[in-house]
Amino acid sequence: MTTTPAAETVPTAAALALGDDALVLSHRLGEWAGHAPVLEEEVALANIALDLLGQARVLLSTAGDEDELAFRREERAFRNCQLVEQPNGDFAHTIARQLFFSTYQHLLHDRLASGDGPFAPLAGKAVKEAAYHRDHAEQWTLRLGDGTDESHSRTQRAVDALWRYTGELFQPVEGLDEVDWAGLERTWLELVTDVLGRATLTVPEGPRTGAWSAGAGRQGLHTEPFGRMLAEMQHLHRSHPGATW
Amino acid sequence: MTHTDWPLWEVFVRSRRGLSHTHAGSLHAPDAELALRNARDLYTRRGEGISIWVVPSSAVTASSPDEKDPFFEPAADKPYRHPTFYEIPEGVQHL
């Protein structure tokens, strides 16, 4: 963990937002263990989960004790975006979620890495991982979207279902003042539109933000499946508080 | 989806300080692009390699064990066939 930024200089709100994103998505991907379509894909998803967990550990450590933060916080105290807490669904759902998030994370870390803020060292390392995650998701989006009728319709369904959670990604995060969020969103839309187009998929027409849609994860308001995920993740630690392992 | 859609690929990795690609193993993938990515995950995750080749197993022609003798029996009693009588100058590497 040589890239840990000096704790006192890191804005806690931002460390929690980025750290919780990585932690929660890592847990979701971990749920695929033993269930992926093929062994090779299982390894790929586990690799991505491990990358994300590594990022989460660095980030949460700057905000406090990583285990306490992961296992002892209530749902309302988590600051992850709602996209990453969405259930895995079928493989197309997992890939669509991965495409949306990895594209966002890659762009964000790219900007943070080129700045001189407290997250630059971490982002410099994470940006390489995110580039690989994005490539993996893109490759699968192209194959599923432009695959069979069945894989096409499933992927379109996944893209449509998760679209509403993507607006939240570009809400400014407190402490990441150097990020041009509107510019980030424009670039994200261009990249995602390009991949979906090449995959013969339609960009959803529904709004990505708005009263009807989701998007308050950064304020601690989460969707219903998140509570169940946390209960499973935190169960052992809550049963034996204070234990070491 | 069955594994018939996922052909077998042979993976060759050249290590960071290596001179040649070495057979690292095999894997299943739907096409060459994903075979490369799977190989990266399976065989170079810890930075072992800097170059990967993937080849569909069906493209590899192997020598037949039945023809072992004519193929491989060395003419050990004919030393003039082997380049063993040259002195290698100092400083020649990788020979």
Cα angle vertex A57, ends A56, A63, to 5°? 90
Q: Which residues contact A178 (CB under 8 A, 6 or more apart)?
A: A111, A112, A115, A117
Can you tell me which residue has the tokens 């040259």? B86
Q: Which tokens sit at A107?
A: 């762009």
Query: What would the pLDDT profile of A93-126 be if each residue is shown by its tens digit?
Result: 999 999 999 999 999 999 999 988 899 999 999 9
- Report yes or no: A217 and A168 within 8 Å, Cβ to Cβ: yes
DSSP labels for B8-54? EEEEEEEETT-SS-EEEEEEE-SSHHHHHHHHHHHHSTTS-EEEEEE
If pLDDT is split at 50, 70 and 90, which confidence band does A201 have?
very high
CB A119 within 8 A of CB A18: yes
User: In angstroms, how far is CA A212 from the centroid of its own chain?
Assistant: 22
User: pLDDT, tens digit, for every residue of A212-238?
Assistant: 556 789 889 999 999 999 999 999 999
Give the Cα separation of B91 and B73 in Å (integer).
Answer: 33
Residue A214 CA to residue A222 CA, distance in Å, equals: 9
Chain B interface includes A6 (CB < 8 A): no
Q: Do B38 and A40 touch (CB under 8 A)?
A: yes
Amino acid (1-letter code) at residue A164: R
Categorize the per-residue pLDDT at B48 as very low, low, confident or very high, splitting at 50, 70 and 90.
low
Cβ-nearest to A47 among B3, B31, B41: B41
pLDDT for A213 equals 53
List beta partners, residue B9.
B27, B56
The strands making up B22-28's β-sheet, listed across from edge to edge, are B22-28, B8-15, B49-56
Out of A25-29, A134-138, A205-209, which region has the weakest mean confidence (pLDDT)? A205-209
**Where is pLDDT greater, at B46 or A164?**
A164
Structure ipTM: 0.77
Distance CA B11, CA A22 (A): 31
DSSP conformation class of A7: G
What distance, in Å, lies between the first and last C-alpha atoms of chain A? 19
Query: Rounded to whole angstroms, how far apart are CA atoms B53 and B35?
Result: 9
- Give Cβ neighbours of residue A137 (< 8 Å, ≥ 6 apart): A95, A98, A99, A102, A103
Using one digit for the tens of pLDDT, what is the confidence trace for B64-86? 777 777 777 767 777 777 777 77
- The nearest CA of chain B is from the CA of A203 a distance in Å of 25
What residues are paired with A184 via a beta bridge?
none
Stated as kind and residue range, the H or E segment containing B55 is: strand B49-56
pTM for the predicted model, two decimal places: 0.86
Instruction: Say if the Cβ atoms of A37 and B30 lie within 8 Å.
Output: no
Residue of B nearest to A47 (CA): B41
Query: Chain A interface, mutation test: which of B2, B6, B11, B34, most A Cβ atoms within 10 Å?
Result: B34
Tell me how far apart the alpha carbons of residues A207 and A195 are, in angstroms, rounded to a whole number.
Answer: 19
Tokens of A21: 């994103």
Does the beta-carbon distance from B42 to A43 stay under 8 Å?
A: yes
Residue B8: phi, psi to the nearest 5?
-85, 140
Beta strands in chain A (DSSP E): none
Q: What is the pLDDT of residues A36-52, one digit of tens each?
A: 888 889 999 999 999 99
Mind listing the pLDDT tens digit for each residue in A9-38?
778 999 999 999 999 999 999 999 999 888
The alpha-carbon gap from B46 to the nearest alpha carbon of chain A, in Å, equals 11
